[in-house]
Amino acid sequence: MLFDKIQAAATEHGSLFYVELVAFVAALYTLYRTVKIYVLRTRLGAEPVAWIPESGWFNSRKALMMFRLKRDGGLVEYLWGIWKGDDENFNVRIGGDTLFVTSDPDNLKALLATQFNDFALGVRHAHFKPLLGDGIFTLDYSGWKQSRALLRPNFSREKIGHTHMLEDHLQRLFKHIRKHHGEKFNLQELFFRFTVDTATEFLFGNSVEGLADETIGEYPTALFEGQFEFYDAFNTSQEVLSSRAWLQKWYWIMNPPYFRRCNKIVHNFADFYVQKALNMPQEELEKKSEDGYVFLYELVKETKNPRLLRDQLLNIMIAGRDTTAGLMSFTFYELSKRPDVWAKLKEEIYEKFGSGKDARVEDITFETLKKCTYLKFLINEVLRMYPSVPINYRFANKHTTLPRGGGDDGSKPAFIEKGSCIGYLVSAMHRNPKYYGADSHEFKPERWADKDLKPGWAYLPFNGGPRICLGQQFAITEASYVIARLVQEFPNIFDHDPEPANYPPRIIAQLTNSLATGLWVSLSD
């Protein structure tokens, strides 16, 4: 009936009729949305949030620019520029959706802790599922709770404090450094290989030995066909996951055949070790637990489900590997540029653990590393200036509010519509003078000695609330050990940055951060 009437009206008024009809429906819908949001917002006691000006149709110009900068390494600085530190909260329209962007500690506390149940990861599960399946990093609600309960006991102090497991891999790293005879090389690339080696050993009980190659006269042991493809496949899959995360609800566009092929290689790798563990007699498992700590062997005591085991291990791998490599890379980036920081660090490490031939390696433990005050300040500062996860997001699972961002001065509650996305920029918050003073853009480990510096929720490298990083202590122990050992072995560091004028450096923001041009340094005895 209605359709017939529309057709008759179209015949009578000519072809412009359809354009007018669409405009009318759009206007009606806009009016409906405006009234609906006004009513909901008033009911929840919130006020309107400021918008940042659009550029291009639905901000398409901004979105394209962000994609380009993500690839070229300028995204984190660009976002900081939009922010300017003053506007900690605003709305932005991207591709027709409203994104509430915040770097306000009060809002982050509500988002991640006090109003935890109002928010979820949302589409992250769909973004990451082809590689990671159902695990702690991808699930919400009861699935996440069960995962956390299953995995948490494996991060206790006695299970993650095995620093000696790192030493064999470090010896390989030293060989790579020494083969350059004091000439420049890319240390970041070695750190990324190192963390895959240590992560695969810790998680699966066997390292991929990515650092073992002919240039240092070592060859990895292959246990099965396709083992050596794991390293590249995992990197490639991870890059695609990052692009899918950036595409948000359009993630399905990014599903190329090479992604599916790489996922298969990674799954075959994990399945091999899972099956090996499942086939192990109980006594052998117990014996392995006594010999050293392997995540998989501990999990097998709790569940025999091969898919669950594979998914959880890959979830931890993705959460822990690049983040730690990034932390070590940015630390040495700063160390290579700051002789004053390098000297103070050396003083502390040499005093506590000796150096060169007199190095007391066995003294470097979880407990003794914790007592290295300057090393702690250094790591705090690296994670402040270069948080491994600079940008993150959550979705509202109901109509709700966040404490700040509404009203003329942004001090009133902000309305958050069900289904909308909240982007939070930890990197911007970490450089805001409001929380870190006028020198907030400077790299200054000493700031952490100031007893008055109590950033609370303004310092969030490991997230906060119920989903706080499970591997925080693990990562800090591993990075501290590597830093201390490198300082012991190589007393001299020199900067060979190909872009020395670019400070802060260009950063590639994949799922986590890395230096766009690599970490070019030389280290010598």
Binding residues for ligand HEM (CB under 6 A): 136-137, 148, 316, 319-320, 323-324, 327, 388-389, 392, 461-463, 467, 469-471, 474-475
Toward ligand HEM, which CB reaches closer, 133 or 471?
Answer: 471
What amino acid occupies position 276? K
CB of 295 to ligand HEM, least distance (A): 8
CB of 189 to ligand HEM, least distance (A): 18
Toward ligand HEM, which CB reaches closer, 49 or 511?
Answer: 511
Residue number with the smallest Cβ distance to ligand HEM: 471
Token pair in block for residue 383 = 């994670």
Toward ligand HEM, which CB reaches closer, 327 or 515?
Answer: 327
Toward ligand HEM, which CB reaches closer, 475 or 523?
Answer: 475
Contact 521, 185 (CB under 8 A): yes
CA distance 376 to 368: 12
CB of 388 to ligand HEM, least distance (A): 4
Query: Is 469 marked as binding a ligand?
Result: yes
79-88 long-range contacts (CB < 8 A, ≥24 apart) are 79/391, 79/425, 79/427, 79/428, 80/425, 80/427, 80/428, 80/431, 82/52, 83/425, 83/428, 85/428, 85/431, 85/432, 85/433, 85/434, 87/50, 87/52, 87/410, 88/404, 88/405, 88/410, 88/429, 88/432
CA distance 254 to 240: 7
Containing 493, the helix (H) or strand (E) segment is: strand 492-495
CB of 18 to ligand HEM, least distance (A): 45
Determine if the peptide bond prior to 504 is cis (ω within 30°).
yes
**3-class SS string, 332-388:** HHHHHHCHHHHHHHHHHHHHHHCCHHHCCHHHCCHHHHHCCHHHHHHHHHHHHHCCC
Bridge partners (DSSP) listed for residue 495 = 521
Toward ligand HEM, which CB reaches closer, 145 or 418?
Answer: 145
Toward ligand HEM, which CB reaches closer, 469 or 507?
Answer: 469
CB of 389 to ligand HEM, least distance (A): 4
CB of 398 to ligand HEM, least distance (A): 19
Toward ligand HEM, which CB reaches closer, 109 or 412?
Answer: 109
CB of 202 to ligand HEM, least distance (A): 7
Question: Pick from 40, 20, 10: which is nearest to 420 by CA?
Answer: 40
What amino acid occupies position 93? R
Question: Pick from 305, 310, 302: which is nearest to 269 by CA?
Answer: 310
Token pair in block for residue 135 = 């695990």
Sheet of 520-524: strands edge to edge? 185-186, 520-524, 492-495
Where is the binding site, in residues?
469
Where is the binding site for heme, in residues?
469
